[in-house]
Amino acid sequence: MNGSPRLITGVVVTTLLAGLCVGAGTASAATNLALGANVSTSSVEEASLAGPSAVDGNTGTRWASAEGADPQWIQLDLRAAKDIRQIRLNWEDAYARAYRLEASDDGNTWRALHSTSSGDGGLDEINVSTTARHLRLTGTQRGTVYGYSLWEFEVYGVGGQEPPPTGGYLPGTLRPSVSQAEQDQVLSRYYQQWKTNFLTTSCGGGQWAVRSVDADHAFVGEGQGYGMTISALMADVDPQARTVFDGILRFVKNHPSVIDRDLHAAEQNPDCVSVNGSDSATDADLEIAYALLLADRRWGSGGAYNYRQEALRIIAAIKRSEVHAGNKLPLVADWASSGSHNNGSRSSDWMPGHFRAFAKATGDSFWHNVRGATENAVTRLQQQFAPNTGLLPDFVQDTQSSLRPAIGKFLENAETDGKYSWNACRDPWRLGVDAITVSGSAAQAQVRKMNAWIKQATGGDPNRIAKGYDLNGAVVESGSSAAFFAPFAVAAMADPGSQAWLDRLWAKLASTSLSTTDYYASSIQVQVLLVLAGRYVAA
């Protein structure tokens, strides 16, 4: 299973620079103390799923216990006493709902390290402070009808033994060739700039909000979603992150849509009053719900807000008001449930990782159907309308009959609604994060097609990436913007033959300062830098 890491207990052991960890290093630089440990287990499902597969450093192999029986355990002998600061459990689909971790000096007398009865799979990170030779994980309640299964049981210590960045990326995913410290320094600088340029408390009442200085309105919903996601992903290194997150959530809750009050009104004026219909925008609600799931991972839901319940409330509203009941493609807003807009969709709302997270959080297969519908739509558009480029249009129409790029003005602009423009520019990033975190993701082939074309079309020069294209690759708007060149860096991460290209994209990103007047491109740039620096986690 490819899940997101959750910091469960204790204090992160890191070195801070301008609010960001620079001591972690890359995955290859860290020492996993469990690699090659002696392993014993209560049982195995079959010989090929034996205990040593959980400590071989290969996320394609796993230990699996016998099915249908509780409790089950796996025990490690590290061969010598080790100072241990973090344990990572990378669960396959057969995860533990309840489990405990114990340590021992001699393998006979055990002391408790951690226990939970609310496990939900994915990647668990448990911060501890102990010295031990032996570790034991005991599953006491299965989360599925199967047994217990781990891709990896990892252990990290102190000094040069810090764990790597917590992205949980697939083996073979490319990263910039520069050092982890340099990646973190660049991210830190631009994150601080982004906060200074675009965060405000001017609406009062404990509200924070992201100012959309280059949009039609002072505040837009997608910006609040971006702010919440960025804050949650920076939570372990920015002590202000939760305050910011809760403040933006307060702003969101104070501005509900007039159509479905569990959704966010997408636009507010400088006086912080909802305007322009006071209805929703699907891209905003998808991002807000996703960010809430990230917040639940980071902080749990026992504070001022129950993040998980807030997420479930919004996910349910998206299902009833912002997804077409027939074709399962996202609508553009809650007001688009009838008329011509009911047969349209925005390609940048087709975020497979978000839909995977919603399915897991709700247990509702509806979201797998939504993901499947969007994956099929991407493939169909690439095959029929962009066979050479893989580019997608901002909007599509005729979703009930013969899916095609929008003709003329569907929602925003008659010249660009059917082209790769200021909405679709996010697609290589939105699809790319699924490609680098989920084995077998349909997005892998989809973004590699985009990546191969843009690399060839620009001669490998990121400075030549334009601000809009026809689906056949012709430039429709010249100039350069991080909203367009940054997302291609995530697509490059998914293509094993693109290291040099990725490094050039990184250099372009690292040398492009954030503009105080361009919230949209700046917010995309910071989120892409989070991915490149290994800090992205899939909720």
What does residue 119 show for φ and ψ, rounded to 5 degrees? -65, 145
DSSP 3-state of 437: coil
- For residues 41-73, one letter each, b for 16 or more C-beta atoms within 10 angstroms of the residue's C-beta and e for the rest, the string is bbebbeeebbbebbbbeebebbbbbebeeebbb
Query: In this predicted structure, what is the pLDDT of residue 30?
Result: 53
Q: How many other CB atoms are there within 10 angstroms of residue 22's CB atom?
A: 20
Query: In this predicted structure, what is the pLDDT of residue 146?
Result: 95
> What is the distance between the alpha carbons of residues 145 and 73, in angstroms, rounded to a whole number?
17
> What is the distance between the alpha carbons of residues 365 and 55, in angstroms, rounded to a whole number?
33
Which candidate, 175, 58, 183, 61, places its Cα nearest to that of 496? 175
Q: What's the rounded mean pLDDT across residues 80-94?
A: 90
Choosing from 56, 236, 283, 349, the catalytic residue is: 283
Share of the chain above pLDDT 90, in %: 79
Q: What's the rounded mean pLDDT across residues 157-167?
A: 51
Q: What is the mean pLDDT of the chain?
A: 90
Q: Give the predicted TM-score (pTM) of the model.
A: 0.72
What does residue 26 show for φ and ψ, rounded to 5 degrees? -85, 170
DSSP 3-state of 290: helix
Assess whether pLDDT exceeds 80 at residue 24: no
Q: What is the pLDDT of residues 492-534, one digit of tens each?
A: 999 999 999 999 999 999 999 998 999 999 999 999 999 999 9
Q: At 319, is the pLDDT very low, low, confident or very high (cuts 50, 70, 90)?
A: very high
Q: At 4, is the pLDDT very low, low, confident or very high (cuts 50, 70, 90)?
A: very low
Query: In this predicted structure, what is the pLDDT of residue 323?
Result: 96
Q: What is the pLDDT of residues 299-315, one digit of tens each?
A: 999 889 999 999 999 99
Q: What's the rounded mean pLDDT across residues 437-454?
A: 95
283 carries an active-site annotation: yes
Share of the chain above pLDDT 70, in %: 92
**Paired strand residues for 20:** 17
Structure tokens at 255: 């501005």
Break the chain into its structural domains and give their ranges. Answer: 31-162
Q: What is the pLDDT of residues 407-439, one digit of tens each?
A: 999 999 999 999 999 999 999 999 999 999 998
Q: What is the pLDDT of residues 259-287, one digit of tens each?
A: 999 999 999 999 999 999 999 999 999 99
Q: What's the rounded mean pLDDT across residues 111-122?
A: 93
Query: In this predicted structure, what is the pLDDT of residue 537?
Result: 82
The residues, any chain, with a CB within 8 Å of residue 478's CB and separated by 6 or more, are 466, 467
> What is the distance between the alpha carbons of residues 239 and 208, in angstroms, rounded to a whole number?
16
Query: In this predicted structure, what is the pLDDT of residue 81?
Result: 85
Mention the CATH class of domain 31-162.
mainly beta
